[in-house]
Amino acid sequence: MTAVVQTAPLGRAPLDFKEGGFRRNLKRHSTPYLLGLVGMAWLLILFVIPLISGLAVSLMSGNPQDGYTFTWNWSVYSDIFVNSDVPYVTFLIRGLVYAASATIVTIIVGFPLAYFIAFRVSRRWKNALLLLVTLSFFVSFVIRTDMWAFVLSDQGPVLTVLRDLHLASKDFHILGTAGAVIGGLAYNDLAFMVLPIYVALERIDPRLIEASADLYGNKTNTFMRTILPLTRSGIFAGVLLVFIDCAGDPVNASLLGGTHTYVIGQAIQDAYLTNQQYNVAAALSTILMIVLGIILFAYARIVGTDNIEDLV
């Protein structure tokens, strides 16, 4: 008589069907899913439900006096792009251009800063420098932007110094321009780029840099072929954080910009708070989220996310 022995797949713990074994197996295999329920509930409450409710509000008809009713009013989307006297498409494109420009600025400024902290600073000073990078977050976002407006104003220190050095005329202005808005966006979100890149740089094995030098690689080749590819995950995460945050921001354009720097974030804010066009504001928010989703999906497909889990 031949005995049948049940074996587990290679790499897995053998299943225990003895008394109490089933409960242990169930507890062991269900623990990751139970822990994931917290994150799923968080996404459901703070992302999925607001997204669905925003879409539902956009399909309503009515006014603030008589109220709004759900009527499947899909024409609000065509009215925004075709029949509206307000150039919402221009505001959307302008907001995306400002967000992309601010993202590029944060990469240009943030990568050398993260590289300096990761490779050129002793370990006892790294935490202090990282604290300085994030120190601005201890102050309100609106206050930071308002102080930036003071710095860039006509009587601010920047233009005062430039005029004293005869590098700027009296008619030259920074505040109220696209450059001021992009600068404010980059200033407020710089830490979102520095920290992910720093984490990616910290994970690089120093022996790889030594191997590049042993293979007669100069500093430029070592950086371009070794360091930069290994920080792709940090740059990817930083771009996501900065671009998404800047695309819908109404504060910087309101405090630092002018009539020619009006963006989609301001249009959503004014439609909701000033004009009380709740369906229009919800439709604009939905369109912005769809456009951002398409852009970020294309970006992820082009750049790739093979090593994004390294930051976790």
The tens digit of pLDDT for each residue in 34-57 reads: 777 888 888 888 888 888 988 999
Cα(149)–Cα(193) distance, integer angstroms? 22
- The SS3 assignment for 248 reads coil
Question: Average pLDDT for residues 184-198, to the nearest whole number?
Answer: 94
pLDDT score, position 48: 86
Q: What is the pLDDT of residues 126-165, one digit of tens each?
A: 889 999 998 888 888 889 999 989 998 888 888 888 888 8
Task: Check pLDDT > 70 for residue 193.
Answer: yes
Question: 285: pLDDT confidence band, cut at 50, 70 and 90?
Answer: very high
Chain centroid to CA 119:
25
| Mean model confidence pLDDT for the chain | 84
Cα(187)–Cα(144) distance, integer angstroms? 9
E strands, the chain, are 60-63, 67-70
Cα(268)–Cα(77) distance, integer angstroms? 14
- Enumerate the CATH 1.10.3720.10 domain ranges in the chain, comma separated: 84-311
Question: 20: pLDDT confidence band, cut at 50, 70 and 90?
Answer: low
Burial of 224 (0-12, 13-18, 19+ CB in 10 A): exposed
Cα(170)–Cα(173) distance, integer angstroms? 8
Helix (H) or strand (E) run with residue 123 in it: helix 123-134
* 4: Cβ contacts below 8 Å, ≥ 6 apart: none
For 10, 16, 26, 77, 139, the CA distances from 13, given in Å and listed in that order, are 8, 9, 13, 55, 51
Task: Check pLDDT > 90 for residue 296.
Answer: no
Top pLDDT among 18 and 260 is at 260
Task: Check pLDDT > 50 for residue 5.
Answer: no
Q: Return the CATH architecture of domain 84-311.
A: Orthogonal Bundle (1.10)
pTM over 0.85: no
Question: Average pLDDT for residues 3-13, to the nearest whole number?
Answer: 49
Q: What is the pLDDT of residues 233-268, one digit of tens each?
A: 899 999 999 999 999 999 999 999 988 999 999 999
